[in-house]
Amino acid sequence: MEDNAWEDTPIAAAARRAAQVMTPNSLTLPKPKEPRLITIANQKGGVGKTTSTVNLAASLAIHGLKVLVVDLDPQGNASTALGVEHRSGTLSSYELLIGECTAEEAMQPSTANENLFCIPATLDLAGAEIELVSLVRREYRLADALGREFIDKYGFDYMIIDCPPSLGLLTINAMTAVNEVLIPIQCEYYALEGVGQLLNNITMLRQHLNRDLHISAILLTMYDARTNLAEQVATEVSEHFGDVVLSNKIPRSVKVSEAPGYGQTVIEYDPGSRGAMAYLDAAKELATRGDFIPSEESGPIGVKPAN
């Protein structure tokens, strides 16, 4: 083997990219013309919603974009991964929803990256569904609290909301505060279970609460190239949803699973791993192709990239 042959190996390529990730200002992506407001949702649990939220956010932040993550899942796993305080009593998305604090007061800087910020979730959020029922503009509490004035004041390029795996008032608040929905779908049995109902729900929300809401991306997760099943699921999803499906898939990865146990994103935990590289590539694709604009015929599904 020639002396420089190692430079063409997968290990060497991963090492070079990991070095880039760990070098400030070495990676850049174009800023969107307008802040992109995205909810990551799927009514089926265990598909990688929180994992995708924090790792896409961290990937965009590493590329020089300013990102706010809003944790609307009472489990607070996104808050843990981003290294922000979320003990009961901490100002959080709960206080924000019921009007006891402002977004500015609840927001914390993430330990993962200087461009990354988080409004955490605490266990107090578990009771918010009941409290919201009697409040004025109960479906728009989050949208009202996270107005354009706040987004512009801090110069956020992206706001990404992590939802619980159910369609209650928390998820409805997330859907009325954004115009884009990213759906993670796992490459396993019953992959599309619940997606049909989610599409119906998004259609109803478009009709009655948020006419701008649409699906701008679908991300395939837990992909194992060694199995026929994963390829079959990927093909089925692509045939059903078309170009809105991101071409970059997230592989099943031990490192992705381990990272939350250390209170980190996989980008921070092991930047040279396959999982980290996949999320970096998916974030780059999401940012460079732009939003997908739905047509009247497509309903809530985006069909062509915005100019």
> Beta strand pairing status for 108-109 and 116-119?
antiparallel
What is the separation of C-alpha 239 from the centre of its chain, rounded to a whole number of angstroms? 23
Number of compact structural domains in the chain? 1
Q: Cα–Cα distance between 203 and 201 in angstroms, integer?
A: 5
Residue entry with tokens 């901490």: 90
Residue type, 222: M
Rounded to two decimals, what is the model's pTM? Answer: 0.90
Count H helices and E strands in the chain, helices first.
Answer: 14, 9
Nearest 5 degrees, angle CA 131-CA 133-CA 136? 100
Where are any strands of DSSP class E within the chain?
36-40, 67-71, 108-109, 116-119, 158-162, 180-186, 214-221, 292-294, 302-305
- The answer to whether residue 208 is domain-embedded is yes
**Which DSSP symbol is given to 162?**
E
> Is residue 133 situated within a structural domain?
yes
**Residue 172 falls inside a structural domain:** yes
β partners of residue 305: 292
Closest C-alpha among 64, 48, 70, 57 to residue 286: 57
Q: Is residue 267 part of a domain?
A: yes
| Assigned domain for 13 exists | no
CB-CB contact of 68 with 159 (8 Å): yes
- Distance CA(42)–CA(40), nearest Å, equals 7
Asked whether 93 and 161 are in contact (CB, 8 A), the reply is no
User: Could you tell me if residue 110 is inside a domain?
Assistant: yes
Q: Could you identify the residue written with the tokens 């190692």?
A: 6
Name the 3-class secondary structure at 280: helix
Residue-number span of the structural domain to which 277 is assigned:
28-305
pLDDT of amino acid 40: 96
Mean pLDDT, consecutive 10-residue segments, the chain of 307 residues?
55 58 66 96 86 97 97 94 92 96 97 95 92 94 95 97 91 96 90 84 94 95 89 90 93 91 92 94 94 71 63
The per-residue pLDDT for 6 is: 52
User: What is the CATH number for 276?
Assistant: 3.40.50.300
Q: Is residue 153 part of a domain?
A: yes
Structural domain contains residue 10: no
The Cβ of residue 293 has, within 10 Å, a number of other Cβ atoms equal to 14
- The span from the first CA to the last CA of the chain, in angstroms, equals 47
**How is 73-85 classified by DSSP, letter by letter?**
-TT-HHHHHTT--
Long-range pairs, 194-197, Cβ under 8 A, ≥24:
194/42, 194/43, 194/44, 195/42, 195/44, 197/43
